[in-house]
Chains A and B, each alone.
Chain A
């Protein structure tokens, strides 16, 4: 029983990280029709700048205020970087979707190289409040607190996104844009501003995800974004491109499947199982569980 609980909480914590990356990817694809391969770079940069902000405090880096600062720095860094990328690169390539994808692939590679160049290619220990590393006993399982923290953060982001999408005019424009962006423009709405905002929002969530991924792994490393990005793409496709709720459900499902298979079968089988699940979903429901058929017209 305690093993099952431990695996479940660990899986959900990992699912929370997947969700932070996947929800941004999904919104960006939904509104802009761009598969953003630079999303892992936003996460890595967010993680490293969060690390840098905390690292400066030395022995004080394990306090809550510093951790809060690290979260803010990571989120803002991811968001700002994404806005810059959108305004300087993506915007010039509107309607040229292949080129947009190529630019994001290039950015992803360049960012990893830059991070390795600045901080070295070895993983660095990530400072966090000591409470995070302690465990809480739940149904006989001693679960590290940081896994709960990742779950709580993901749930808060999910609720925030649902409020944004469901209750605000921006959310209305985003939901409409996912369905039919040229009609949104034909109602007199500047979709380019929406594109920038959605890209920035996705980047901010990735930056937040970067700090939390570093917390989850206890380290920052240049490859952290890309290793998460692969699974986040799988989550987005299974959940349905453009659907935040779908991403949340798929993130939890994928991470749980991965954890249990890795434990009960053998390490590494979990990752294979997830890819197999992707193949099954693509065969049975090509538009994902919640997403709609992508419009080609």
Chain B
């Protein structure tokens, strides 16, 4: 089932990661193809967020990570990001005391160009009128828009997106999913998402973790179609998961 290396933008081999003294990931290996959305799934606390943070060197880790053919696992966070990985963290992590404009300005790594500004205008019209507003006063959905805009205004090779719909109203979930769909047309995504309806709409492939290990990889449609497997690995049934966050959602913590 594994895609050939030539078409993978990110290749992860034998990745271990620790938070403090506790080992969270155990020899995690998977690939993110150069197109489409790869969903990283699993119950709460299996290490999904830690996987993304380990790719970015935000937690202590060992193993090999290759981005478009070059090893990035020995580099510090800022260099990895500069090589073209955009990170949309869990809980958005916008800078609450900075204005929307300042949040975007801080994230911009080079000259953006008018086509990029136009893309942002089309995707996030809500933000235009709020550029001078402190990001901390925005709604959760608007903050998610800022977090997404931050990575879309740069030239990236891949995006790591962590629970973008967590805690959002259903209408806003659709808006965020629309923006992710547009982003996915331009570049590959590694997406952590509890909402299986969103996964079903966006994901082309899935990687499933359990207790810090990869337990399943394959096409998204095959996995989501297998009720028994979804229930076994995620603890929810695929058919009634639409809309609601599977597994409680809000207590995902920093794993």
Q: B-contacting residues of A (Cβ < 8 Å)? A: 169, 172-173, 175-176, 179-180, 182-192, 292, 297
Contacts and interface: CB of A to CB of B under 8 A. Distances in A.
SS class, residues of chain B in contact with chain A: loop
Contact of B78 (A169, A179, A180, A189): A189
Contacts of A182: 58, 77
Tier of interface size on chain B: 20 to 34
A62 B97 CA distance: 46
B76 interface: yes
Contacts of A297: 254
Interface in B90-133: 93, 95-98, 102, 105-107, 109
Contacts of A191: 78
Contacts of B56: 186
Interface stretch (B22-30, B81-89, B213-221): B81-89
B66 to A, nearest CB: 19
B109 A188 contact: yes
Nearest to B88: A186
Contact of A190 (B78, B93, B102, B105): B78
Given A172-B102, A191-B78, A297-B254, A186 B95 contact: no
15 contacts: A172-B106, A176-B98, A179-B96, A180-B93, A185-B78, A186-B56, A186-B81, A187-B107, A187-B109, A187-B150, A188-B78, A190-B78, A191-B78, A292-B97, A297-B254
A189 B77 CA distance: 9
B192 to A, nearest CB: 15
Nearest to B156: A188
Given A172-B102, A176-B106, A183 B93 contact: yes
A7 B100 CA distance: 44
Interface of B: 56, 58, 76-78, 81-82, 87, 89, 93, 95-98, 102, 105-107, 109, 150, 154, 254
The 8 closest A-B pairs by CB, nearest first: A188-B81, A185-B77, A188-B82, A183-B93, A190-B78, A186-B87, A176-B95, A187-B107
Contacts of A179: 95-98
Contacts of B97: 175, 179, 292
A176 B89 CA distance: 16
A187 B81 CA distance: 7
A192 B78 CA distance: 10
Contacts of A173: 106
A180 B93 CA distance: 8
A273 to B, nearest CB: 32
A31 B93 CA distance: 16
A172 B81 contact: no
Nearest to B108: A187
A125 B76 CA distance: 50
A183 B77 CA distance: 10
Contacts of B154: 188
